[in-house]
């Protein structure tokens, strides 16, 4: 377990080493000049330290960039403070304003200096999710699912699947805990990774850091580490969970025509972490569309994304992909299924598990568990009604009983009357239970 909590080591060389020159930043001078004139144009006068902070680079490198601007008459030095090492203030010139306006037509991005695509690719490889998965052990999974009722055979199957870091399909009837299990296991993929704010490719800006999915470690305090490239932020491994809202466009780079920047695809944001596609097959996106889109990325672990210029870029696809579906997997394309090595069926609970679920739910909701009430429910509403047991029944039925009791100013108890009322609400009536079709 020890290795799980550790973040990646700070590399002595490679994408994390602190850039000491303009060249070390890995992006073209044109991009840097654009960025600097836009910043001065937007913010007016700034001193070197403020500029270095905004760019998340060292002061001497910021000064080098400003010297380039000065030589091209795009900025002027307005003076300096009177410290031991003077920090100059910079302002934009008329020529600079012209250049800034022109730069803004290319894109409106102002912020940390982007990293190069090559640096991003290398970093994704260095901190691959398979590393974090490979340290998952049986006791970790048992602990993660401690609050749930799951059979040992499920643990036996799910554990190695998670450990492999390969795609997993959770399937089975509704209400048996596919989403619930996934929500609990995502916490097993521990550790932290470095994520850049933005990445530059072919002069285009791709925004990668997204506060919705990227949680800073220590609230971002680590960015004060003076020894490394501060353009990368240390974040917990991301968990991207998507349901019915998933569309094909969110799986590509999204170009914002106003800012003229690209937003990274969801799978890029999930790199180094988990991409959980819940309710697969119930998205606006048809299963076949997703399958066609992902058949190569799933196998080759690379994705081809199009910039708005039409240029295709190759981006690593490195997340633990988990699908959940209540569709019959045999209806899915065989070629797709082959690319998901782990298909884990989440079965109906057996009677003992149903009993445990009921007991636990009663306990957590302050309802006294009653064996007779439980037997009554199982016999009348499951066995006699030929209704399969589902793991969600206990929670949903006890919730109903609690509501009924509150409404009647009574204590919630598992009486036959309360169970009848809860079941009448919860289960749809069948012809055998008195419902007649008109």
- Return the number of the residue (345 or 404) whose C-beta is nearest ligand ATP: 345
Residue 408's Cα: distance from chain center in Å? 44
Report the C-alpha gap between 325 and 287 in whole angstroms.
11
Identify the residue among 60, 86, 160, 174 touching ligand ATP (CB under 6 A). Answer: 174
Binding flag, residue 48, ligand ATP (CB under 6 A): no
Encode burial over 378-395: b for 16+ CB neighbours within 10 A, e otherwise: bebbbeeeebebbbebbb
178 binds ligand ATP (CB under 6 A): yes
Q: Is 176 in the site for ligand ATP (CB under 6 A)?
A: yes
SS (H, E, C) 288-347: HHHHHHHHHHHHHCEEEEECCCCCEEEEECCCEEEEEECCCHHHCCHHHHHCCCEEEECC
Residue 177's binding partner among ligand ATP, Mg ion, none (Cβ under 5 to 8 angstroms by kind) is ligand ATP
* 357 counts as binding ligand ATP under rule CB under 6 A: yes
For 261, phi and psi rounded to 5 degrees?
A: -115, 160
User: Which of the residues 61 through 120 are near ligand ATP (CB under 6 A)?
Assistant: none
174 or 341: CB nearest ligand ATP: 174
- 179, 192, 222, 233: which one binds Mg ion (CB under 5 A): 179
Angle between helical axes of 416-426 and 393-407 (0-180°, round to 10): 110
Q: Which stretch binds ligand ATP (CB under 6 A): 174-182, 195-203, 364-372, 412-420?
A: 174-182
Would you count residue 176 as binding Mg ion (CB under 5 A)? no
The window from 71-79, 175-183, 249-257, 365-373 that contacts ligand ATP (CB under 6 A) reads 175-183
Which region, judged by CB under 5 A, interacts with Mg ion, from 4-12, 61-69, 170-178, 350-358?
170-178
Query: Alpha-carbon Rg of the chain, whole angstroms?
Result: 28
Backbone angles phi, psi at 80, to 5 degrees: -145, 160
Q: How many residues bind Mg ion (CB under 5 A)?
A: 2
How many CA atoms lie within 13 Å of 225's alpha carbon, on the beta-carbon side? 20
Q: Residue 283, interface with Mg ion (CB under 5 A)? A: no
C-alpha 136/C-alpha 3 separation (Å) is: 10
User: By CB under 6 A, is residue 49 in contact with ligand ATP?
Assistant: no
Alpha-carbon distance of 186 to 209, in angstroms, equals 20
Residues in 129-168 at the binding interface with ligand ATP, rule: CB under 6 A: 148-150
Return the SS3 of 406: helix
Q: Which of 96, 167, 175, 252 binds ligand ATP (CB under 6 A)?
A: 175
Selected binder of ligand ATP within 163, 179, 223, 319 (CB under 6 A): 179
**Cα angle vertex 47, ends 259, 211, to 5°?**
40
Q: Which is nearer to ligand ATP, 126 or 395 (CB)?
A: 395
Shortest Cβ 174–Mg ion spacing (Å) = 7
263's contact among ligand ATP, Mg ion, none, with CB below 5 to 8 A by partner kind, is none
Nearest approach in angstroms of CB 385 to Mg ion is: 24
Distance of CA 198 to the CA centre of its chain: 17
Which window, 159-167, 188-196, 231-239, 389-397, contacts ligand ATP (CB under 6 A)? Answer: 389-397
| Contact residues: Mg ion, CB under 5 A | 178-179
């Amino acid at each position: 377990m020890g290795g799980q909590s550790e973040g990646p080591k700070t590399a002595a060389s490679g994408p994390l080493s602190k850039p000491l020159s303009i060249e070390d930043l890995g992006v073209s001078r044109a991009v840097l000049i654009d960025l600097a004139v836009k910043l001065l144009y937007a913010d007016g006068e700034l001193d070197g330290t403020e500029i270095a902070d905004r760019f998340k680079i060292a002061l001497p490198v910021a000064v080098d960039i400003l010297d380039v601007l000065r030589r091209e008459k795009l900025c002027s030095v307005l003076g300096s403070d009177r410290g031991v090492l003077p920090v100059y203030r910079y302002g934009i010139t008329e020529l600079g304003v012209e250049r800034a306006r022109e730069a803004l037509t290319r894109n409106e991005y102002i912020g940390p200096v982007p990293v190069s695509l090559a640096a991003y690719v290398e970093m994704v490889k260095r901190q691959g999710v398979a590393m974090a998965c490979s340290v998952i052990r049986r006791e970790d999974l048992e602990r993660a699912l401690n609050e749930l009722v799951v059979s040992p055979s499920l643990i036996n199957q799910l554990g190695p699947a998670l450990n492999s870091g390969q795609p997993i399909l959770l399937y089975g009837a509704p209400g048996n805990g596919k989403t619930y299990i996934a929500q609990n296991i995502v916490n097993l993929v521990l550790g932290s990774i470095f994520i850049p704010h933005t990445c530059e490719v072919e002069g285009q800006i791709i925004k990668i850091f997204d506060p919705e999915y990227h949680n800073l470690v220590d609230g971002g305090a680590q960015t004060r580490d003076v020894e490394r490239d501060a353009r990368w932020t240390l974040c917990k491994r991301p968990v991207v969970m998507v349901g019915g809202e998933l569309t094909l466009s969110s799986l590509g780079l999204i170009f914002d025509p106003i800012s003229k920047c690209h937003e990274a695809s969801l799978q890029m944001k999930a790199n180094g972490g988990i991409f959980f596609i819940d309710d697969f097959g119930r998205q606006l996106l048809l299963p076949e569309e997703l399958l066609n889109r992902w058949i190569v990325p799933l196998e080759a672990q690379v994705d081809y994304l199009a910039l708005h210029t039409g240029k295709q870029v190759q981006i690593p696809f490195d997340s633990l992909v988990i699908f959940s579906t209540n569709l019959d997997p045999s209806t899915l394309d065989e070629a797709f299924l082959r690319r998901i090595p782990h298909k884990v069926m989440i079965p109906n609970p057996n009677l003992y598990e149903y009993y445990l679920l009921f007991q636990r739910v009663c306990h957590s909701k302050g309802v006294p568990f009653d064996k007779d009430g439980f037997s009554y429910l199982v016999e009348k509403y499951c066995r006699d009604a030929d209704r399969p047991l589902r793991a969600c029944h206990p929670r949903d039925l006890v919730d109903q009983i609690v509501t009924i009791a509150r409404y009647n100013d009574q204590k919630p108890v598992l009486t036959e009357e309360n169970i009848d009322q809860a079941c009448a609400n919860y289960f749809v009536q069948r012809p055998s239970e008195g419902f007649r079709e008109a």
